Structure 1
Amino acid sequence: MSAKPRAQPWAYPRWIAHRGAGKLAPENTLAAFRLGAQHGYRMFECDAKLSADGVPFLLHDATLQRTTSGQGVAGDLAWSVLSQLDAGAWHSRSHAGEALPTLENLARFCLANDYFLNIEIKPTPGAERRTGEVVAHEAARLWAGRAVPPLLTSFQPDALAGAMHAAPALPRGLLLDSLREGWFETAQALGCAAIVCNFSLWNEELVRRVHAAGMRALSYTVNDEWAAQWLFALGTDGIITDRVDLFSPAN
């Protein structure tokens, strides 16, 4: 009889601030992470991709126009160009001039304040494995010697495979917006420590299955009290939220 899988140690808080402070500040900027911290959050989620010259930086979309003063595919531009863009004016005049941070910028902020981080690997299409490798290598370098490393997650199995190859000791999580065929086997093959689902996918049976496999059950993006209470009742392990102004991370 095979032994039951053992859950990996889990030192992360239950509450995770989405892209820094949800929608209260320009997402994935240092201003957002500072605001999330002001609301008492100690763990943050961010999106990381690569510039054309291989610098890991924070941006959700493949293209620049929604959240910066730039245009086109972000991954086609060198960091020297991306670093000059305005990543705050789209949100509000008070944040005009906010810059795109590098992953290292955010790491320094988190490490200086003992904050935890969930890095979603958000590759430019076609650069999945390389992005996973570079982001994981950079994360391993920045958090070297620290007791609690960042959690690396992605919707893209190839990105997680790259992360596993580059920094196998860093914990990984598979992001799911649907329970696509083979998701469970993919997570196991990638040595995932967590499954991070659209919150509406969870039910008692699924939580039990994930826990029985030694993985944790996390949810995105939870912005309503009823959903949070339901997920607590199911026994899930983490909640990613935009509503840093609604939910107290002390609960």
Structure 2
Amino acid sequence: MTRPPVIEIVAHRGDPVGEPENTVASIRRAIADGARVVEVDVRLSAEGTPVLLHDATTERLWGRGAPVGRQSLAQLRALRAVGRRDAVGIPTLAEALAAADGARLLIDLPDRRTAPAAWEVAHASGAPVAWCGDLGGLRTVRRLDPGAELWLTWHRPGFPGAALLAKLRPHRVNPFHRLVNDQWVRLARRAGVEVSCWTVDDIGRARRLADSGVAAIISNRAASLRSALQPASVAL
């Protein structure tokens, strides 16, 4: 298959190698390195405020083994990244959208309960966004916003069914990268959708995916993949 002229490299949780993931610092560093799309994860504080976190608890990165949803926004803001002495902390989704400064956020939803509050914040900001993650969350966003850009996150070996694609109307089908092969891309093209995939850090694997016709790759090492895969003449 013919490789797309410029494959899109999406920064996974910002730049999680150089900064704590899902922070303003991580988003800004990814954008400074050329990212035009940054994937972030959202969860709700005890008050229902969307904040940037992947895990269900704050233990791994923030040193407190409590569920995110049982901590107030003030408690979450008081946490500092494990191993860091500076003031890098957990941002709200609103703060992350402001920090994106022209780049788009790909907002990963953990469940349908999180979707309405996250959608309201994104809609109020007027910032360009796309959505991925939990199928129930994506269905909720589609009901709220008929024009929303959805990336249908997919974990199963088989290609999504026609009924689901017709109802959800995703812009991209977004499977785990090991599911993707030439047939997957052919099926996607017949269905009128693009293929993105996650999470690819190996340049050789990324090249093979690009050659198969994948439109976008989500990576923890987005700057390295971008340098290897995108033409030097492309203005970022």
TM-score interval for Structure 1 and Structure 2 normalised by the shorter chain: 0.7 to 0.9
| Corresponding residue SS for 2:91 | coil
CA distance in 2, matches of 1:41, 1:229: 18
Structure 2 gap ranges (5+)? 1-5, 232-236
Aligned partners of 1:30 and 1:101 also within 8 Å: yes
What residue is the counterpart of 1:198 in the other structure? 176
What residue is the counterpart of 1:97 in the other structure? 87
Equivalent residue in structure 2 for 1:136, among 111, 119, 143 = 119
- Report the alpha carbon displacement of residue 118 of structure 1 after superposing the two structures with TM: 0.7
- Report the alpha carbon displacement of residue 182 of structure 1 after superposing the two structures with TM: 5.7
- Report the alpha carbon displacement of residue 139 of structure 1 after superposing the two structures with TM: 1.2
Equivalent residue in structure 2 for 1:120, among 90, 94, 108 = 108
Equivalent residue in structure 1 for 2:167, among 189, 212, 219 = 189
Inter-CA distance 22–13: structure 2 relative to 1 (3 Å threshold): farther
Q: Which of the pair is proportionally richer in helix?
A: 2
| Corresponding residue SS for 2:108 | strand
CA distance in 2, matches of 1:166, 1:78: 26
Structure 1 gap ranges (5+)? 1-11, 123-127
Aligned partners of 2:7 and 2:210 also within 8 Å: no
Which segment is superposed worse, 53-62 or 206-215? Answer: 206-215
Aligned partners of 2:46 and 2:72 also within 8 Å: yes
Inter-CA distance 181–199: structure 2 relative to 1 (3 Å threshold): closer
Identity %: 26
- Report the alpha carbon displacement of residue 205 of structure 1 after superposing the two structures with TM: 1.2
- Report the alpha carbon displacement of residue 80 of structure 1 after superposing the two structures with TM: 2.1
CA RMSD in angstroms comes to 2.1
CA distance in 1, matches of 2:13, 2:211: 25
Deviations 1:47-100 (A, max 9, x none): 0111121111100001110011322110122212212111x2x2x436x43110
What residue is the counterpart of 1:151 in the other structure? 130
Inter-CA distance 190–37: structure 2 relative to 1 (3 Å threshold): same
CA distance in 2, matches of 1:134, 1:188: 25
Equivalent residue in structure 2 for 1:215, among 193, 198, 204 = 193
Inter-CA distance 187–61: structure 2 relative to 1 (3 Å threshold): farther
Q: Output the amino acid matched with 1:81.
A: Q
Compute the TM-score of the two structures, normalised by the length of structure 2.
0.87
What residue is the counterpart of 2:71 in the other structure? 77
Compute the TM-score of the two structures, normalised by the length of structure 1.
0.82
1:26 aligns to 2:28 (yes or no): no
| Corresponding residue SS for 1:17 | strand
CA distance in 1, matches of 2:156, 2:54: 20
CA distance in 2, matches of 1:134, 1:205: 37
What residue is the counterpart of 2:3 in the other structure? none
Q: Which runs of 4+ in 1 moved over 4 A?
A: 180-184
CA distance in 1, matches of 2:186, 2:14: 30
CA distance in 1, matches of 2:39, 2:193: 19
Equivalent residue in structure 1 for 2:32, among 23, 31, 38 = 38
